[in-house]
Amino acid sequence: MHLGNLADASPFTTKDGSTIREVAGPVSLPTANQSLAEARVPPGGATTAHLHRVSEELYHFVSGTGRVRLGEEEREVRPGDCVVIPPGTPHKLFNASADEDLVLLCCCAPPYSDADTELLEPEVPHPGSAS
């Protein structure tokens, strides 16, 4: 049996600029076909618009408020919302809050990889970056 706990997961920054803690996947537990991670976008922040050629993603929002853009469509998101992102679909997250992280669980199948992430705009500067 493989058992992981989110509290034990080390955070890292993905290619799109979100900070994630992977609880299951290549970084943490031996999964073959998917990954599960908590992602955070800081207050007033946004991810870099991007797409994944192979991976399908599910975003399940657990706290904070914001917006998600898929292609040309943009919607408000709040805790309890779930968004399906098909492979090849451009997407971007925006945190609408001035004082609370936008927090979501992200499931990727196949597992998330930077190699499958294509940035569609210049990278957004992130806290602690040298850009």
Tell me: pLDDT of 111 over 80. Answer: yes
Q: Could you give the CA distance from residue 114 to residue 97 in angstroms, rounded to a whole number?
A: 27
Per residue in 37-93, pLDDT (tens digit) is 999 999 999 999 999 999 999 999 999 999 999 999 999 999 999 999 999 999 999
Tokens of 109: 């199948």
Looking at residue 18, what is its pLDDT?
86
Residue ranges covered by each domain of the chain = 35-119
Q: What is the H or E stretch that residue 20 is in? A: strand 19-24
Looking at residue 124, what is its pLDDT?
57
Confidence category of residue 128, pLDDT binned at 50, 70, 90: very low
Q: Could you give the CA distance from residue 98 to residue 33 in angstroms, rounded to a whole number?
A: 36
The answer to whether domain 35-119 has CATH 1.10.10.60 is: no
Per residue in 6-24, pLDDT (tens digit) is 999 999 888 888 889 999 9
